[in-house]
Amino acid sequence: MSDWPSRYSDKVITPEQAVGLIEDGMTLHFGLASACPQMLTALIGERREELRDVLAYGDLMTWAGDWDEVPTDERHMEMRCCFLTLVNRGAYSRGRTEYHPATVYTSTRRFERDIGPPDIAYLRLGEPDVNGNCSVGSSVWDTKIAARAARVVVAEIAEAGMPRTSGDSTVHVDEIDYLVPIPDTWPARVRPLGSANEDPEQLAILDVAGANTAELVRDGDTLEIGVGSASNAVSQHLWGKQDLGYHSELTGPGIVPLFEAGVFNGRKKSRDIGKMVVTALPADLNDQEVIARHFDDWELYGVDYIHNPSVIASQSQMTSINTAIMIDLTGQIVFDSIGRRMHTGPGGQIEFVIGAVYSPGGRSMHVLPSMSGENSRIVSELPPGANVGIPRYLADYVITEYGVASMFGKSERARAEELIAIAHPDLQADLRAQARHAGLL
């Protein structure tokens, strides 16, 4: 054990001193989700008018304040992210946040190329344990990667609210340059990153699609379930399965009860046998209490492990289940944009799709309702500017409330037939006519 307590007090500074470290022209990095500072981000935002040419990366911000709102053409603080949520989607639409295309796995390469190491990484961590290890809380993401890369690391140290997990989910005091203790009484201004779909009719449609998806899941599969109501709808239909494993970016609704009941036990996994392996815990506090009681069974790691395609592909029967926004009749999948406008981001979807289709016995599934309002989500061709997230070469299974389409090994004609068959019945005739006009049928 290192003699870290003797060095701890020498690193403690005030919040004002912490944000005063920023100078013009610097590059900043903010921790993601639970590791995103709350007090310090607000104070940094207050400095935006006096700073010049500061570049800040905040991919999953939990502070909903304004960045670079100064009415001038001169750049003060430019915020960039590779994923949009309720917190920053409005700022993006107003041109106050810049989107940079990257997955969560490839985004860390910016520390090696383009911007280089960040000048300062601002993190939020839990109080150190007896060994001097500070928890990153309920999500790891790229926190440890950024801490290793940054020239200076500043950590907001929270008195409470930072759960501890097994795996690789701590940062040692000796890896931190400055510490800013934050009392538990400090009123955090945090907004949720997302919200559930509560429309009863839409939920009923997604429930059917989820049941169709669950029919494809085999005993002994290791699952990844991505963000979104459509992909999460599969969980409640997995109760009859046996010996499922879990290796996923997120821990969606319904996963923890299935673990507690023994449906997820990881016995058949090829690696991390018997472990639930993720980079982010569920937001539900009751679920977190269950995980805390099973401390050794849940492991959190950074995106360099969780999202590594070679790691994912090494898991036999790896099955990725993700949401799509739109798909054309050749199998091109759009999942993070509406037209030219980004709505979310790729997250780790493409890495999990690649890993799943390369896995021995693995499969990739995309779930979506057949309609969005009065428009079909299955289209003869994508609209101009649509961002293809998954190329048709990787499209595998596509599921709606009307059934399952299988893409692998199929010709363009056969793919079009499969997809038209699971489109809304009222629109199938139009899709067929459009497919004939395009030469697909």
What is residue 64's predicted lDDT score, i.e. its pLDDT?
84
pTM of the model: 0.95
Domains of the chain in sequence order: 5-182 (3.40.1080.10), 200-437 (3.40.1080.20)
User: What distances in angstroms separate CA 320 from CA 146, 180, 273, 313, 393, one per listed residue?
Assistant: 27, 40, 18, 11, 16
Give 237's DSSP letter.
Answer: G
Q: Are strands 397-400 and 403-406 parallel, antiparallel or unpaired?
A: antiparallel
Tokens in use for 117? 């190491």
Give 254's DSSP letter.
Answer: T
Tokens in use for 30? 């903010």
Cβ proximity of 337 and 325 under 8 Å: yes
Tokens in use for 269? 């996994």
Say which residues have a Cβ less than 8 Å from residue 431's Cβ, sequence separation at least 6. 329, 376, 378, 379, 380, 420, 423
Other C-beta atoms closer than 10 Å to the C-beta of 310 total: 10
User: What distances in angstroms separate CA 63 from CA 43, 190, 191, one per listed residue?
Assistant: 11, 5, 7
Say which residues have a Cβ less than 8 Å from residue 237's Cβ, sequence separation at least 6. 210, 211, 213, 214
Averaged over successive runs of 10 residues, the pLDDT of the chain (441 residues) comes to: 85 97 97 93 92 94 81 81 91 88 92 88 96 96 96 94 94 97 70 67 96 98 95 97 98 97 98 98 94 97 98 98 97 93 93 98 98 96 94 98 97 98 98 97 95
Question: For residues 230 and 418, what is the distance between their CA atoms, to the nearest angstrom?
Answer: 20
Tokens in use for 34? 């639970």
Question: For residues 33 and 57, what is the distance between their CA atoms, to the nearest angstrom?
Answer: 13
What is residue 95's predicted lDDT score, i.e. its pLDDT?
83
**Choice among 224, 249, 401, 418 that is catalytic:** 249
- Give residue 188's identity as a one-letter amino acid code: A
Question: For residues 186 and 158, what is the distance between their CA atoms, to the nearest angstrom?
Answer: 10
What is residue 401's predicted lDDT score, i.e. its pLDDT?
98
Active site residue 381: no
